[in-house]
Structure 1
Amino acid sequence: MSHILLIVGGGIAAYKSCELIRLLRRNGHSVRCVLTEGGSHFVTPMTLAALSEKQVFTSLWDLKDEAEMGHIQLSREADLVVVAPGTADLMARMANGLADDLATTVLLATDTPVLVAPAMNVRMWQHPATRRNVARLRADGVTVMAPDDGAMACGEFGPGRLPEPGAILLAIEAALTPAGRPLAGRHVLVTAGPTHEPIDPVRFIANRSSGRQGFAIADALARLGARVTLVAGPVTLPTPPGVTRIDVESARQMADAVQGALPADAAVMVAAVADWRVEAARQKVKKDGGAAPALTLVENPDILATVATGPDRPALVVGFAAETEHVIDHAIAKRARKRADWIVANDVSSDVFGGKANSVHLVTADGVESWERMAKEDVARGLAQRIADALQARP
């Protein structure tokens, strides 16, 4: 367990600190909060205490707090100090070594790493004084994240929004465990979900894939430091933190998106791509009391084989095989036919599609490994680590 000291600065974005605490605790971190006077106008000490399940510190002049904890001990007990939101004023005081309240005193006294997630008006972020302060903080060893672009509470648009809590979580975990991010600097392409092949403007051919396994793999790879591009079929899952998502509908759209995302160090083709499509009617096909209309099927592009044999072939190509019988035999044949490095095979005849657990067989040139049934997130973590090990073993 890592110990995080979260300093909540003033600004409307302070409300996102509540979600950040929840994410940190869900991922096994302990959180203690320092709430600035400005921050207390947006969130309350009681809210932060309830979420962190720890006392919240607000004043340098509280005799009881100083006697029981003390700002020096508070500054030293954490593995990482996080400032979120980092306002222009708070960063200016940090850059100039001021210590006129509890937050800045803790920051000046700490000997642990500091990470700042900025949040301010776009003009304030772009002002030369702020740019100088950011440069000075970075030169002093402080990690200052880039703010997000977007609409702001003041009605303006541009860089200055607090990064989303999920992105801050990834930055925190990177700062805590740089050695635990073996995929840093690597680009991994992941496909997930089904494809929908239109029959007419209102009907389509599809399958039962939920995308849950592919999204979990994208998330696990990002947590190991990879730059992940996720090409997703039509699903309703949230985008994992730090992952670039491209939404598509049909197999041909997915094939184009995959080619556009290359080159990559690894490709993990999890999507359940429809093997066939039909020539879609321009208008809704109507029942006229006669025989059902004939659907002429046309084979879709073979995305896995194209990636595995193309000029931009990744160093590691991983395919998935969703089977209902002879699972391992079909997976071994598919690996050879598609020229993939690995095939991850699973039996989808029961509740795998749409379910929360999976039991897979990893087929490689060295043989077959059968994994016990586990949560899809655990399958994802295991596969992501194997991918990291394989890429590290290659030049």
Structure 2
Amino acid sequence: MQIETIELRNYRLFRDAVLTDLPRLTIVVGANGSGKSTLFDVFAFLKDALTQNVASAVARRGGFNELVSRGQKGPIGITIKFRESSGRLATYQLDIANDRGKVVVHREVLKFRRGRRGQPWHFVDFSRGKGTAITNEAMYGQKGVTAEREERVLADPSVLAIKGLGQFTEFRVVAEFRDLLENWHISDFHISDARSSAEAGYAEHLSMGGENVAQVAQYLYENHPDQFEKVLQAMRRRVPGIDRVEAKPTEDGRLVLRFQDGSFKDPFIARYVSDGTIKMFAYLVLLYDPKPHPLLAVEEPENQLYPELLQELLEEFRGYALRGGQVFASTHSPDFLNGAKLEEIYWLVKKEGFTTVERASDSELLRNLVAEGDLPGALWKQGLFKGVGLR
């Protein structure tokens, strides 16, 4: 699966914003307060709405009046267009309203278009807890086949229809989209957490903050040695001097990461390793996960990382995207941007209190300058990304 378009309506700073033609690796830049974190929060909101309900997801963000764009009554709208596994473009639309103080699903639609001109099939079409779902999805697109619909009523008008339907195999694309929302991952890495020793235990996947990196490293070493070797190979390529990394148990039953530098006889434990080394290792553990996340969001990966490592890290992100995951990363770093392709860069522009989205490759000036050999990060630093500022 790949998300190709995101449309936001009345979602905080995004009164009416669209990101189109999204590649597998998307880099988002913008001045402080332009909405980078809010953009990433859209994925978290959808996940919260799915695992709980829309009312709970809105409440976690301060309530409807805090989430809806200033001066707007709603509804709050999120539309995701994605390429599902068979290659067809599907559209998921969610509109959320405030109904006399209660947050409800105003409209929820999942649809496909049959060919370029055919009318779309609304596989899911619900409003305020009532709607229909197509039961013969497997027959979609076959000549002479008409949609067979079944009416359903949800117990709670703030519950997403895909929460229930996605559990059934006959709703394959619903299940795929549900899987995307449930298994996306945001990385908010904290160096101090990764440096400390961890309780010995079991952890298959890196947490949001990275505090379990030693446990995950041990899990990879014991259960997926091929993937762990790929992490080490990448470390040798990206961080010169590092020959080996191990999660060493201590006498009190904790795990400590140890890094072997080829120039020294004894290894260094994590607390004495540079910020750049420990952070690069944690990112590689995330990126070489045997069960990669379908969508990975990383906010400001340049923090605590040496500038010369940023383009190396960007190459690892791109490799992850090419292996099947989709990556969104926000940045303030010209060095990180220098490794990006122009079509991968989107920038946020705040005008009159609301944010719009521009794509770098749509700018003729930027295209010409890059064609002449200029680097995107250098152009951004010069102020040639209109509306984008530095820290």
TM-score range, shorter chain: under 0.3
Higher Cα radius of gyration: 1
Higher strand proportion, which one?
2
Comparing both chains, which one has the higher relative contact order based on Cα–Cα distances under 8 Å and sequence gaps of 6 or more?
2
TM-score between the two structures when normalised by the length of structure 2: 0.27
